[in-house]
Amino acid sequence: MIQISKELLDLLLPTFIVNHFTFTSSSSDEDHMHLYFEEKNDSTLFKDRKVESKGFHKEIVIEDFPLRGKLVYFHIKRRRWRDIETRETLQRDWKSIAKGTRMTEDFVTFLKEINRYQ
């Protein structure tokens, strides 16, 4: 696994990614950068419930701000959880994604702002 300091990640990435996901790898070419993340195994998100991790959902891809002229894509694997008592399948609430898009809220706001000046 590539070691990148948390300080650098805090500067470059949305806070929710840094706080709730582990950076696992990256790849890039001339025009694109792909950053790969897995949701942390943190069951404290489900207060008052006993849960266990049951693997991951299918990877999702989110477009974010360009870096150094490259389009940036987050490849995110969200955890699937199971309540030990009820057997209910659970997942983290994913409200950080702009409705109707595959981009972060910050990036959508940025695009709306620059569109006003055209």
44-63: per-residue pLDDT in tens?
Answer: 778 888 999 999 989 988 88
Residue 105 located in a structural domain: no
Q: Give the H/E segment covering residue 53.
A: strand 51-56
**70 lies in which domain range?**
6-93
pTM for this predicted structure: 0.72
Pairing verdict, β 70-77 and 32-39: parallel
Residue 87 located in a structural domain: yes
Residue 19 located in a structural domain: yes
Decide if pLDDT at 14 tops 90: no
Residue 108 located in a structural domain: no
Position 84 scores a pLDDT of: 93
Residue 82 located in a structural domain: yes
Residue 117 located in a structural domain: no
With a CB cutoff of 8 Å and minimum separation 6, the contacts of 45 are: 92
How many structural domains is the chain composed of?
Answer: 1
Residue 116 located in a structural domain: no
If you average pLDDT over residues 67-77, what whole number do you get?
A: 89
Residue 18 located in a structural domain: yes
